[in-house]
Amino acid sequence: MPFLRTRGSLAFSFLMLVAAGLLVTGHQAHLLAAAPFLLLAACPLMHLFMHHGHGGHGGADDQGGGS
């Protein structure tokens, strides 16, 4: 039987949803105060992880210099 179809898992999911809702409503001021810092922290992290696929800033084609 899949996990999400049992009574215990549905009850656990519901309790976690209620707990998350209470945390968000109870600490909304803290979350909103941290939002600008989280946005600023996301920029270097995205830069670090998004340049993973193409080898960074310098490549073999950029070494020639002129034409």
User: Does 62 map to a domain?
Assistant: no
User: Does 41 map to a domain?
Assistant: yes
pLDDT in tens, 5-56: 788 998 999 999 999 999 999 999 988 899 899 899 998 888 888 876 665 5
Q: How many domains in the chain? A: 1
Which structural domain range is residue 10 located in? Answer: 3-50
Q: Which residue has the tokens 């939002």?
A: 35
User: Does 59 map to a domain?
Assistant: no
First to last CA, the chain: 65
Residue 20 near residue 26, CB atoms below 8 Å = no
pLDDT at 15: 96
Find the Cα–Cα–Cα–Cα dihedral 11, 13, 19, 23, rounded to 10°.
-170
User: Does 34 map to a domain?
Assistant: yes
CA distance 51 to 62: 16
pLDDT at 18: 97
User: Does 19 map to a domain?
Assistant: yes
The token duo for 35 is: 């939002």
User: Does 31 map to a domain?
Assistant: yes
Could you tell me the pTM of the whole model?
Answer: 0.46
